[in-house]
Amino acid sequence: MKRLTRISQLIAVSLFLSTAIFAQNTFTHTVKLGETVYSIAKVYNITIQDIYNLNPNAQSGIRIGEALRIPQKGQPAGHHYHTIAKGETLYSLTNKYQISAEALTSANPGLTADNFRAGQVIIIPDSKQTATVSNVKNATTANPQKPKYREMYTAKRKETIFGIARKFGLTTEELIAANPKMKAVDYKLKKGEVIAIPYPTSEQPQNTSSSQQPATETINKVLSENKGPEKYTSLSVGVILPFKKGNNESAKMIEFYQGILLAIDKIRQEGISVEVYTYDSGTTAASMKQVLNQEEGLSSTDVIFGPLYASQIPVLSEYCQKRRIKMVVPFTGQFDAVFKNPYIYAANAPKSYQYGETYELVKSRFASYNIIILDAMENNQNDKQFTDGLRNALKTQGQTTKSLSLYADEIAIAKAMSTTRKNLLVPTSASIKTLNILFPKLKSFTEAYPQYEISMLGFPEWQTYTDTQLDYFYQFDTYIFSPFYRNPFAQKTNTFEKEFAQWFKKPLINSFPRFGMMGYDLGYFFLKGLSQYGSSFDQKINKVKTIPLQHDFTFTRCSNWGGFINNKIELIHYTPNKNIEIIEFKNER
């Protein structure tokens, strides 16, 4: 009996140790809107299989709010991830991990007083590295040979005091204090001038004991402070796109740039000085490196728009991250750098984020509808991914869907319909071929069976078919999900198109979307935001209010150490009384 008791104790101890080791080697991630297993794996620099190994049920799909176990294996050397627990504060974390508040917030640029809450995942930097900084702080006499300045720097053409300070991780006040001549009223930084680069305040010797902990008020200040000017009165903009190919693609890039120029003209009329540096990016990573090696002017820009090609993004991302330059990627949404670089803004959200937003809109807008998925029998994986995901998203809240072939006869269609509820039809294809089959069939069906109420849900591409399908859109109460919408009947649209033609002696290209409008919307959003909020731009990015011509923006950080993704999705509603209604998603993020 004693032997059995002893074995039971050993098993209990073994299970306890196994659980403790498991807990230390994993952390919890709560699934957010639009996230996929792929995007979560990229955020934490692990593989999809790593997530499946710890969360087998994730192979059949993940849900918003679901807690996933994530392995501690993809973080930078010496660092690890931590899920903030209920009741934890920044102060308690600095005590627990023996690191400074500055080190913690530096590793998590997206962490603020507003979003420091339970469930958030943050990076805990290596305590040995931060201990080295702490030792420097306390060694007031141990290192008398340490030079007064970190280095002497030669200013380049058109560099600014703020730009140089930002390049070296300093505040403007720290840089000016090390160079008293800058305090003069008539001082102007010139090319070739040699200036002293001091050590950051966090590395200066101080007479504080290593056992002293920062007060709670100091912690809150660290979370909320923003170094640099609160507003920008002058801005420097870079545009790096393929302009010289001479084909339709380069024509669109030129038009996008011309839209940015119109945005710059508007912001100049508001009293903001703007300099523009424009470069042809070529088409390869090598040609992008060649552009960046030119350095002149580009290194001191506040924001860079580009590139077009995904293969060039890693090169430009590394350049911008090193210099803390905001990098706006206007076109592709399929790139990984946004998960690692806090200075990237993905203006075009990945499909998974667009779909996730749309699912939430559908669940709230069509909760009482009889939803029918129409199989168009076309081999388009993106479109099918959307409808498959919609079916699963509705299933999680207990809402069932029906399936029906696009080629079904009237009897089969009537059998799938409901007479007591409204019916929402969702085709599995965005093609014009599908609409050319579907709409005439529905028109014939509703003439034979007028008792059924029918609405349609379609894809962004459907906006390009309005010339031939608009009457059908109105007749069948059509909703189109899209990250952008150009209203051809709006006064602001007509005014812009006339102004564009006057400036550039040509009309906008008839494309989807309009690239000139896209350049204007994106350019004005960032220029307006930077001029309003300066160094607080990231924290106040969703307070930037502009009147979009075509693209609106709702940027959200993908992690506390990653960049921003535009999650803006709208439903464009073509009503039976021939109005166009824009329905926005208003869920709290």
Residue 93 structure tokens: 């974390």
Clarify whether residues 53 and 191 are in a common domain: no
Break the chain down into helix, strand, coil percent, rounded to 5. Answer: 45, 15, 40
Q: Which tokens hold the place of 107?
A: 């590793």
- Both 369 and 470 in one domain: the answer is yes
Alpha carbon distances (Å) from 353 to 66, 86, 159, 564, 567: 17, 28, 38, 12, 6
* 105 in the same domain as 48: yes
Three-class DSSP category at 174 = helix
Q: Considering the domain boundaries, does residue 218 fall inside one? A: no
Lookup: tokens for 228: 């640099």
pLDDT the model gives residue 571: 94
CA distance 311 to 334: 11
Here the CATH number for the domain that contains residue 502 is 3.40.50.2300
| Preceding peptide of 450 cis, ω within 30° | no
Q: Is 346 in contact with 338 (CB distance < 8 Å)?
A: yes
Phi, psi of 402, deg, nearest 5: -110, 155
Residue 164 lies in a domain: yes
In this prediction, the residues of the chain whose per-residue pLDDT falls under 50 are: 2, 4, 7-8, 10-23, 131-146, 203-215, 588-589
Q: Does residue 411 share a domain with residue 518?
A: no
CA distance 380 to 395: 23
Q: Which residue has the tokens 């001082």?
A: 187
CA distance to 25, 260, 262, 361, 516, per residue, from 508 (Å): 55, 14, 13, 32, 7
Q: Contact, 518 vs 550, CB < 8 A?
A: yes
Statement to judge: residues 445 and 331 lie in one domain: no
CB 152 within 8 Å of CB 194: yes
Q: Given this model, what pLDDT does residue 20 score?
A: 38
Give yes or no for a contact between 207 and 140, defined as CB atoms under 8 angstroms apart.
yes
List the beta bridge partners of residue 570: 482, 584
Q: Is 296 within a domain?
A: yes
Distance CA 348, CA 330 (A): 6
pTM of the model: 0.79
Hunting for tokens 């009237």 — which residue is that?
410
> How many residues does this entry show for the chain?
589
Query: Do 93 and 171 fall within a single domain?
Result: no
Contact 219, 89 (CB under 8 A): yes
What pLDDT shows up at residue 116? Answer: 86
Number of domains in the chain: 4
Give 457's DSSP letter.
E
Give 300's Cβ-side CA count (13 Å radius): 19
The CA distances from residue 346 to 242, 314, 336, 395, 500, in Å, are 18, 13, 10, 30, 26
Of the candidates 313, 277, 287, 286, the one whose C-alpha atom is nearest the C-alpha of residue 163 is 277
Domain ends where: 102, 133, 164?
Answer: 133
Angle value at C-alpha 239, between 234 and 241, nearest 5 degrees: 175
Classify residue 550 as exposed, middle or buried by CB count within 10 Å of its CB (0-12, 13-18, 19+).
Answer: buried
Q: What is the pLDDT of residues 547-573, one digit of tens each?
A: 999 999 999 999 999 999 998 999 999
Residues 84, 40 within the same domain? yes
Residues 256/516, Cβ–Cβ less than 8 Å: yes
Question: Both 465 and 578 in a single domain?
Answer: yes
Q: How far apart are CA 411 and CA 33, in angstroms?
A: 39
Whether 262 and 377 map to the same domain: the answer is no
The range of the structural domain enclosing residue 340 comes to 234-347+489-551
Let me know: does 438 contact 377? Beta carbons within 8 Å.
Answer: no
One domain, residues 447 and 579: yes
Q: In terms of domains, do 504 and 387 share one?
A: no
Q: Does 6 reside within a domain?
A: no
Identity of the amino acid at 376: A
Q: Is 334 helix (H, G, I), strand (E, B) or coil?
A: coil
Q: Which of 85, 107, 133 is where one domain is finished?
A: 133
Nearest to 244 by CA among 283, 276, 275: 283
Q: Which structure tokens are listed for 506?
A: 């040509």
Do 397 and 477 belong together in one domain?
Answer: yes
SS3 state at 281: coil
Residue 504 domain flag: yes
- Specify the CATH number for the domain of residue 185: 3.10.350.10
Q: 358: how many CB neighbours lie within 10 A of its CB?
A: 26
